């Protein structure tokens, strides 16, 4: 509608303004419906992707049924060094013409822990590197105030007569006594 004549009655001017607004609203409603129809597949795809993405993750649970348990009490560890009566020959050379043999007593460390040692782990024994190598089985050791697994390995004995004495954990009082392994 082009402009109205200035002498047109007021009610015609009001009516024409209302009609102009209604037609704009109608046009915008139909345009928005048309646009909505065009983008419906896009909205459906994004909705499906959002739904599937939400299914892939697990919501975090923040529900607590009880307060956490108290921290475990630390084990008391006592380390003592004892010597075994076994002697190992050591060679001391003073003069090339004269060889002196002396004996040395190896020191064996003993540890006492109040926690029960874990069960031994299964190990795969690798191929023997040489006929002289001896398999040293894995064992639990006490280090840094906790049990640590020492993996089994092949080792050459200090001499052909040496025999490996495996480390042991034995109950002693209210704790467990660990004696390290050594070559005898």
Instruction: Examine the domain organization and report whether 123 and 38 are in the same domain.
Output: no
Specify the 3-state DSSP secondary structure of 128. Answer: coil
| Dist. CA 118–CA 150, nearest whole Å | 12
Q: Which domain holds residue 5?
A: 1-56
Q: Is residue 137 part of a domain?
A: yes
Q: Quickly state the pLDDT bin for 154 (edges 50, 70, 90).
A: very high
Q: Would you put residue 15 in left (φ > 0), alpha (ψ -120 to 50) or beta?
A: alpha
pLDDT tens digits, 30-67: 666 676 677 777 767 667 676 666 555 555 555 555 56
Q: Is residue 69 part of a domain?
A: no
pTM of the model: 0.44
pLDDT tens digits, 82-92: 544 444 444 44
């Amino acid at each position: 509608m082009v402009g109205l004549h200035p002498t047109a009655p007021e009610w015609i001017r009001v009516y024409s303004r209302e009609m102009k607004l209604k037609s704009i609203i109608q046009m915008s409603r139909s345009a928005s419906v048309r646009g909505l129809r065009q983008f419906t597949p896009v909205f459906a795809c994004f909705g499906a992707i959002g739904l599937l993405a939400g299914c892939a993750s697990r919501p975090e649970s923040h529900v607590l049924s009880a307060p956490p348990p108290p921290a475990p009490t630390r084990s008391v560890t006592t380390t003592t060094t004892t010597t075994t009566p076994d002697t190992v020959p050591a060679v001391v050379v003073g003069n090339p013409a004269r060889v002196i043999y002396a004996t040395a007593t190896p020191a064996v460390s003993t540890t006492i822990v109040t926690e029960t040692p874990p069960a031994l782990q299964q190990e795969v024994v690798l191929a023997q590197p040489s006929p002289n190598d001896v398999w040293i089985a894995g064992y639990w050791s006490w280090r840094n105030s906790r049990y640590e697994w020492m993996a089994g390995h092949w080792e050459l004995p200090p001499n052909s007569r040496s025999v490996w004495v495996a480390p042991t954990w034995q109950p002693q009082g209210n704790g467990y006594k660990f004696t390290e392994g050594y070559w005898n």
